[in-house]
Amino acid sequence: MKKLVASVFLLNLLFFSPSVIAQTSVDDSNGGNQGTDNSVPYVPTPIVLDNPLEVSSPQVLIARIINNVLGVVGTLALVMFIYGGLIWMTSSGSSEKVKQGRDIILWSVIGLVVIFSAYTIVRFVIQGIGA
């Protein structure tokens, strides 16, 4: 293990040392302003922040987040509805499986109704605040 660490250290020393030696020295005879023209003033460029979400206010951002969350939850409820149907279809006459599938379908329909109601309420509130 010691030989491995020593060999890795020596290889790093061998390969990375020439880059330090290759550095040129700076000639400070003209005050350190090599290649610059002192007659042109330095004008800093303004800092521009990109807006990757393309939102103009926090209300719009919150509205988009809520709409996306409701879309994901609605998709999950639809998947559960399909899963309940598959459980019911593959029950092979077992009363427990039929009841389990029916309960999954019932609760997923209730979930879809709640999700659509929440979407309607959120949409109404968003339009009310002008987001």
Q: What is the pLDDT at residue 129? A: 77
* Domain locations along the chain: 58-129
The answer to pTM > 0.75 is no
**Mean pLDDT of the chain, nearest integer:** 81
pLDDT at 112: 92
pLDDT at 27: 53
- The contacts of residue 102 (CB under 8 Å, 6+ apart) are 84, 88
pLDDT class of 41 with cuts at 50, 70, 90: low
Q: What is the pLDDT of residues 64-92, one digit of tens each?
A: 898 899 999 999 999 999 999 999 999 98
Query: In the prediction, which pLDDT does 38 show?
Result: 56
Q: CA angle, corner 76, sides to 73 and 79, nearest 5?
A: 155
> SS3 for 86?
helix
